[in-house]
Structure 1
């Protein structure tokens, strides 16, 4: 696309406009109707690459994207609230009524949940806030949900591009890009198979995803020494972004992946599912969580890989696979899979993406603090993916696992949020001491 090359070349020559470009593109991508007309995902990745190349720090890029997207949501909501049903008469929507009909149907069926999952579904993202306003969703509730969804969206859509740009400007080891292409190719194959099969509602997608996740995990466990350049390069990239104000936050995030936290969260989830008599969902969660935890411990003892030499007081346990990464991905993938039961394929994918964000935050916190190599975290994620897919395939051998009733979610979510909130509060004093020390 010649116009894209022209735009990126101009922004590269005028980097002082890059922050405004990130803000405006995020705003347009989330603005009703406009977001359907512009290739916002491609543009955001391109400008994020330029930002990561030294023009903008990561926190500023994410903040500008978040604020721009949030403003787009609010304008879309105000548009729907102002015109209500008369909005169907706008010229563009009059010519394309299916745009509004699809979002309206999604919102009426799933309510608040549609704003969370729909933020990651391209055709729905700019339309759902307008539909929420059109159907008189309370402003406070809309704002709270949009803040949560928007923060995850900014990370998912801007972080990959920024990291790519940052990697391009750093002096990296010779084999970095070769190893990165190999790892990215394997993950792209896994994601492509999962996305394609899910959208086409193919029953074999889950067992095939399990087999491919296992194959990639085995390849990683056998060849991790060959990824030394990639590991060191990514570790250097993340360590360059360390800042005293972020250290305390990362300590709080990483504590949410501690064994005690994940053990308590997993036990609570299984107990509440049993209390609600959701036996198949309980067995699915138990097999996925216990299988991941036991196999992680066995693999650590078998491989005995040393941790990075970043910490002043190195930990005396082994690092591959990462226990924090495997436990976090297993737990949140279980929640994402349960949330997607009974929904169309693209909504299930959106829930899986949304569920991966807190797990990814925990994994990145381990890399930021220098406790794990990147391949440790990837191995933990693949291990969790393997067990979750295997457990789901086992539970669905004869019949698709049904969706959890709404009353069960009203039981699960407050309890789990309270639990994680309690552990985060408990970690705050240590985070404050680290910040004050630095």
Structure 2
């Protein structure tokens, strides 16, 4: 297998014109039933991502190819399951390895739609779950909607690290970049691993521990950000190289979701609707988290008084660290994710938090793309919001767990908040585009 892997990567290195097709096919095979277990798709995707980032393909091209390839693999697997149903167990490979399909079926029956989102990141389950969904007659519209969302997050998670590595190797980065990047990654990933472990184990101290870890990591960054200049400058150079007019418009739209006015109105609407629905404790949790995050961010920003990157034609006012857009977006969407996961097992709570974090991550990254925040600014904003949200939840649940909200409340809250966010973000968009020109 190692020799075959080396041959494939060597051939692609000598024939870069086939790299786009290779990314599409590898992503498809990685998500294809049975084949995805047998082929080392993760290693191959990282390798081709490095090649693409070295100058062969733009980031958006790489992600689009991986996304469409993975989605095609899902559709083929679903179609196989829908066509053969239980008879698929008689296929030679699955007959010799019944544990593959039995494990995926058990996981799907236990967690339903959430299994397609979480299982996307679990190697042996990823290629089997779409086939099981078809085998158990999951409605196609529901399957394709979930798969489109899951494939987007999967493409980013599996291709961006390789692409960024290739781009970083190509560009002249500041001395010390890799060491600083390694330290930050180890701290953040280690913190997330401990939080996920405690949540899955249903530990009683999971929320206080999550708050302590987030705030400790934030404190370390508050002390150490002057020593992360190489990381900030290197990542900013990588991101700014990808700017183009078409993507600028999308990123300005995304960043406006985190504007102070947008988040203030969305937070007020959320708290008001929860009060109208008589969800007193949920309203207190939401309002307390959002207000505490805003106050803490403002205090820290003025205390450190860090200057923004010198990229925009007309630099924005105020200070840079931590990012207010990042902290506000993470606070708002984490509140929604925490409320959605109440009363559910640890895996589903993590799933809701993962889904809730995706729009917040997009808003935070848009700030670096537009050149108004350093990368460490948005990381600090996310850590601040995560620590305060976890601490608020721990305080609310001292006497009794925060109860799950009935579906009728979500029918009221979610569409209203999303409509407000979209409406305010698109208002006066041309003026916003001019504001973020460079």
Which TM-score applies when normalising by structure 2?
0.91
Does residue 375 of structure 1 match 2:376?
A: yes
2:127 is aligned to 126
How far off is 1:102 after superposition? 4.5
How far off is 1:352 after superposition? 2.5
SS at match of 2:85: helix
Deviations 1:312-345 (A, max 9, x none): 1011111111000111111222222233334443
2:87 is aligned to 86
Q: How does 1:268-417 map to 2 (within 5 A)?
A: 268-417=269-418
1:144 is aligned to 145
Q: In the aligned structure 2, how far is the partner of 1:332 from the partner of 1:154?
A: 22
SS at match of 1:136: coil
Question: Kindly tell me: are residues 427 and 148 of structure 1, through their superposed partners in 2, closer, same or farther at Cα, counting changes over 3 Å?
Answer: farther
2:221 is aligned to 220
Q: How does 1:90-129 map to 2 (within 5 A)?
A: 90-108=91-109, 110-129=111-130
Q: In the aligned structure 2, how far is the partner of 1:41 from the partner of 1:351?
A: 24
1:154 is aligned to 155
Q: In the aligned structure 2, how far is the partner of 1:337 from the partner of 1:385?
A: 11
Greater shift in the superposed pair: 121-130 or 309-318: 121-130
Contact 2:257 2:422 in 1 (8 A): no
Q: In the aligned structure 2, how far is the partner of 1:413 from the partner of 1:118?
A: 25
Does residue 40 of structure 1 match 2:41?
A: yes
Q: In the aligned structure 2, how far is the partner of 1:30 from the partner of 1:240?
A: 31
2:189 is aligned to 188
2:208 is aligned to 207
SS at match of 2:360: helix
Greater shift in the superposed pair: 149-158 or 74-83: 149-158
Deviations 1:147-205 (A, max 9, x none): 22222221222122211221121101112122212212211221221233233332223
1:17 is aligned to 18
Q: In the aligned structure 1, how far is the partner of 2:291 from the partner of 2:102?
A: 43
Question: Kindly tell me: are residues 249 and 82 of structure 1, through their superposed partners in 2, closer, same or farther at Cα, counting changes over 3 Å?
Answer: same
Deviations 1:254-295 (A, max 9, x none): 111111111222222223333333333333322222211110
Does residue 73 of structure 1 match 2:74?
A: yes
How far off is 1:394 after superposition? 1.9
Contact 2:114 2:348 in 1 (8 A): no
SS at match of 1:86: helix
Q: In the aligned structure 2, how far is the partner of 1:345 from the partner of 1:123?
A: 20
Question: Kindly tell me: are residues 13 and 129 of structure 1, through their superposed partners in 2, closer, same or farther at Cα, counting changes over 3 Å?
Answer: same
How far off is 1:358 after superposition? 1.2
Question: Kindly tell me: are residues 276 and 181 of structure 1, through their superposed partners in 2, closer, same or farther at Cα, counting changes over 3 Å?
Answer: same
Question: Kindly tell me: are residues 98 and 397 of structure 1, through their superposed partners in 2, closer, same or farther at Cα, counting changes over 3 Å?
Answer: farther
2:248 is aligned to 247
1:256 is aligned to 257
How far off is 1:237 after superposition? 0.9
- Where structure 2 has 5 or more consecutive residues not aligned to the other structure, the ranges are none
Deviations 1:225-246 (A, max 9, x none): 2212211111111111111111
Question: Kindly tell me: are residues 399 and 140 of structure 1, through their superposed partners in 2, closer, same or farther at Cα, counting changes over 3 Å?
Answer: same
Question: Kindly tell me: are residues 225 and 270 of structure 1, through their superposed partners in 2, closer, same or farther at Cα, counting changes over 3 Å?
Answer: same
Q: In the aligned structure 1, how far is the partner of 2:304 from the partner of 2:187?
A: 22
SS at match of 1:168: helix
Does residue 171 of structure 1 match 2:172?
A: yes
How far off is 1:373 after superposition? 0.9
Contact 1:121 1:350 in 2 (8 A): no
Q: In the aligned structure 2, how far is the partner of 1:23 from the partner of 1:86?
A: 29
Deviations 1:11-42 (A, max 9, x none): 33332332222212211222223333334333
Contact 1:118 1:128 in 2 (8 A): yes
Which TM-score applies when normalising by structure 1?
0.91
Question: Kindly tell me: are residues 63 and 160 of structure 1, through their superposed partners in 2, closer, same or farther at Cα, counting changes over 3 Å?
Answer: same
Greater shift in the superposed pair: 11-20 or 186-195: 11-20
Greater shift in the superposed pair: 374-383 or 396-405: 396-405
Question: Kindly tell me: are residues 106 and 411 of structure 1, through their superposed partners in 2, closer, same or farther at Cα, counting changes over 3 Å?
Answer: farther
Question: Kindly tell me: are residues 427 and 60 of structure 1, through their superposed partners in 2, closer, same or farther at Cα, counting changes over 3 Å?
Answer: farther
- Where structure 1 has 5 or more consecutive residues not aligned to the other structure, the ranges are none
Q: In the aligned structure 2, how far is the partner of 1:64 from the partner of 1:239?
A: 22
Contact 2:111 2:348 in 1 (8 A): no
How far off is 1:61 after superposition? 0.4
How far off is 1:75 after superposition? 0.8
Contact 2:30 2:36 in 1 (8 A): yes
Q: In the aligned structure 1, how far is the partner of 2:399 from the partner of 2:336?
A: 22
